[in-house]
Chain A
Amino acid sequence: MSPDGTASRIAWRLATVIDVVMETPRTRTLVLDVPGWPGHRAGQHVDVRLTAEDGYQAERSYSIASPPEDTRLCLTVEELKDGEVSPYLSEVLHAGDTLELRGPIGGYFVWDIPAGGPLLLVGGGSGIVPLMAMLRHRNAALATSVARHQLPARLLYSSRSWDEVIYRDELARLAENDPSLEVTHTLTREQPDGWSGFRRRIDRAMLEQVAWPPSKQPRVFVCGPTPLVESVASTLVELGHQPALVKTERFGPTGGAV
């Protein structure tokens, strides 16, 4: 039995913060040591629980950013303005602090190598987090360029501005070293000088240009604010992709326009 009186199959564990990495002005990655962590699949998440002094508990679900191959667990947390939990996670926590979490959780929005490809990932804002776990997993599990070539991946990632692109340098590095990974950015609000890429929200024309055709039967994962997810998923189905191959994860209140 856990302290809250419920016998749960997935136990609450005490994680220790090893490091806090600033990703963008509004996002931080918590690098965690979780004793007894049973391992996870790319795309799964954890529930994080905070307990106030008066016993009040707040619980939130966060996607895991690290691949299964990583011994440390990484969560990338975006600070939501009116958030109850995220400001604490992104601003207050430091190396050495502990927090309660349980997981891994979820069996729907997950991808691993045996699930095959090609892999089409569409993300908005911090919706990149579970998609990054998939890209990191693909990179770690497929050691040779031949193996990667057999399981190509494309990421279409919408951010408000260049400064808000999470994992920007790592994405560039991954794509540079891997001809079978294509990373496409769209910047919806503000673009750096000389920007020649997309500068609008993801729409039908963009998906037609970037996505694999339905005949290739890509495994599609869409994660971001609800409006983005709903519009991208329904457009992909209109374009002929099988609904069962288009998996979605929405987060946040209604989110910003990314």
Chain B
Amino acid sequence: MNSSSSESHEPVVAGERLAGARRVDGNAAAGILSEVFVRDLTAARAKCARCGVTRTIGTLIVYAHGMGMIVRCPGCDGVILRLARTPTHVWLDSTGATSIVISRDAS
């Protein structure tokens, strides 16, 4: 069954609707990534599974919405990471990242 409820029933805060996703960058994903990874990930590098280019995660494009974030490659627009949070779980889909390289020195 098709449902369009995911878009139309966004609850409100301060009397306003969230107008779709917000476009920010990987720096803004650091919080939710810290729920999954021990080390800071904004300074880590991810290789895009679509175009093969490796970039610092802080420089990737992030679309943030109520439940989580979609992290995309600024070069080819491929989805590198998908993160969502439910009341009980954090869900991560990293199939769009061929590899993630994290500095062992990073705090």
Contacts and interface: CB of A to CB of B under 8 A. Distances in A.
Contact of A106 (B16, B24, B27): B27
A50 B16 CA distance: 13
Contacts of B25: 226, 248-251
Interface stretch (A5-13, A67-75, A204-212): A5-13
Interface size class of A (residues with CB under 8 A): 35 or more
A246 B43 CA distance: 13
Interface of A: 4-10, 45, 47, 50, 52, 54, 56, 58-59, 61, 82-85, 87-88, 92, 102-103, 105-109, 226, 247-254
19 contacts: A4-B85, A6-B90, A8-B34, A9-B34, A10-B31, A45-B30, A50-B13, A56-B12, A56-B66, A58-B18, A82-B16, A85-B14, A106-B40, A106-B42, A247-B58, A249-B58, A251-B24, A252-B23, A253-B22
Contact of B87 (A4, A47, A107, A249): A4
Nearest to B10: A56
B86 to A, nearest CB: 8
Contact of B13 (A8, A47, A58, A248): A58
Contacts of A5: 87-89
Interface in B14-71: 14, 16-19, 22-28, 30-31, 34-35, 38, 40, 42-43, 56-59, 66
B106 interface: yes
Contacts of A247: 58
B6 interface: no
Nearest to B59: A248
Contacts of B14: 50, 84-85, 87-88, 92
Nearest to A246: B59
A108 B58 contact: yes
Contact of B38 (A9, A56, A61, A108): A9
B30 A105 contact: yes
Nearest to B23: A253
B22 A109 contact: no
Nearest to A2: B35
B66 to A, nearest CB: 7
Given A56-B12, A85-B14, A251-B25, 16 more contacts: A8-B34, A10-B31, A50-B13, A82-B16, A82-B19, A88-B14, A92-B14, A103-B31, A105-B31, A105-B40, A108-B42, A109-B58, A249-B25, A250-B25, A251-B24, A252-B23
B107 interface: yes
A106 B30 contact: yes
Contacts of B23: 226, 250, 252-254
The 6 closest A-B pairs by CB, nearest first: A108-B58, A107-B40, A56-B11, A108-B42, A47-B31, A61-B28
Contacts of B11: 52, 54, 56
Nearest to A10: B34
B27 to A, nearest CB: 5
A109 B13 contact: no
